[in-house]
A = this chain, B = another copy of it.
């Protein structure tokens, strides 16, 4: 039996936090889903309207965009404002909470970017082996 260091996951378990009631996992779940991350990166450039987001993320569907935005809004990460123009326009932007989250996401993207050569090399080796 190997000696193991306690991880955060062990801690969660020890405290009866299961996947269904673990708040961190719930946040991570939609914060770390495919689209929310990309949406936040776009909103990092300033407020965007619905269709602007659609154009910025060429391969997202309206359905997923709506859904992801609703989730982010519900968690207070994104703010949704409707302007009474004709036709009405809707603006999405990062809340203060969202602005605190973004740097962590960007840190990940930076890491991915600088580590890319090593990752590609690893893939190459794996696929050949």
| Interface residues of A, Cβ cutoff 8 Å to B | 2, 4-10, 13, 18-19, 23-25, 27-29, 31-34, 36-38, 41-42, 44-49, 52, 56-59, 73-77, 97, 100-101, 104-109, 111-113, 115-116, 118-123, 125-127
Contacts and interface: CB of A to CB of B under 8 A. Distances in A.
Contact of A74 (B24, B58, B118, B127): B127
A76 B27 CA distance: 26
Given A7-B44, A9-B57, 8 more contacts: A7-B41, A8-B44, A19-B59, A25-B38, A27-B112, A75-B119, A100-B111, A101-B111
B111 A5 contact: no
Nearest to A73: B126
A101 B74 CA distance: 29
A119 B9 contact: no
Contacts of A48: 4
A125 B33 CA distance: 23
Given A19-B58, A74-B123, A115-B97, A107 B109 contact: no
B76 A31 contact: no
Given A32-B32, A34-B32, A9 B41 contact: yes
